[in-house]
Amino acid sequence: MSGVGKKVTDVAFKASKSIDWDGMAKMIVSEEARKEFSSLRRAFDEVNSTLQTKFSQEPEPIDWEYYRKGLGSRIVDSYKEYYDSVEIPKFVDKTTPEYKPKFDALLVELKEAEQKSLKESERLEKEIAEVQELKKKLSTMTADEYFEKHPELKQKFDDEIRNDYWGY
């Protein structure tokens, strides 16, 4: 297997192992997103499969003797000489070093956004729990009990009454 082909195959194989498809699938809520996710996964699997089969095999060696019998040794020797003189340049990755710092910065930004999102999620879940609790108690709650939980509203109403503002 050629060096570049093996490297591509290895990277694709490692990428497929490190992706938590099931974990991502659990986070998807809408039906449209599920369809998009499944088509993404299918496309990834197809590309990965192609890479595994196409680049994982060595090419079959050329049977020069077979061609010598049919074409003559002079032309076949010429082709063999040209074939042997072909040097495939080694792949030098110039793009990754250029974009790696940008990608790393984006990952840091992503982690920060994830943390903010988790904190906001927690806050909203607490608020939802409070509202649901309040909804249950609302029918039997007195104004004093409500104002005890929301002193800013009590202050606002007291100020309005003190200033003789009745909302008209």
- Identify the CA nearest to 26 among candidates 16, 34, 14: 34
Express each pLDDT in 39-72 by its tens digit: 998 998 888 888 777 766 777 888 899 988 888 8
Report the distance separating Cα 31 and Cα 42, nearest Å. 17
| Interval 82-134: pLDDT, tens | 998 988 888 788 888 888 889 889 899 999 999 999 999 999 999 999 888 88
How far is it, in rounded angstroms, from Cα 128 to Cα 139? Answer: 18
Q: What does the pLDDT read at residue 10?
A: 62
Q: What are the residue ranges of helices labelled H in the chain?
A: 3-18, 21-27, 31-55, 64-71, 73-85, 95-137, 143-149, 151-162
The pLDDT of 10-38, averaged and rounded, is 78
State the average pLDDT over residues 2-25.
Answer: 65
Cβ atoms of residues 54 and 8 within 8 Å: no
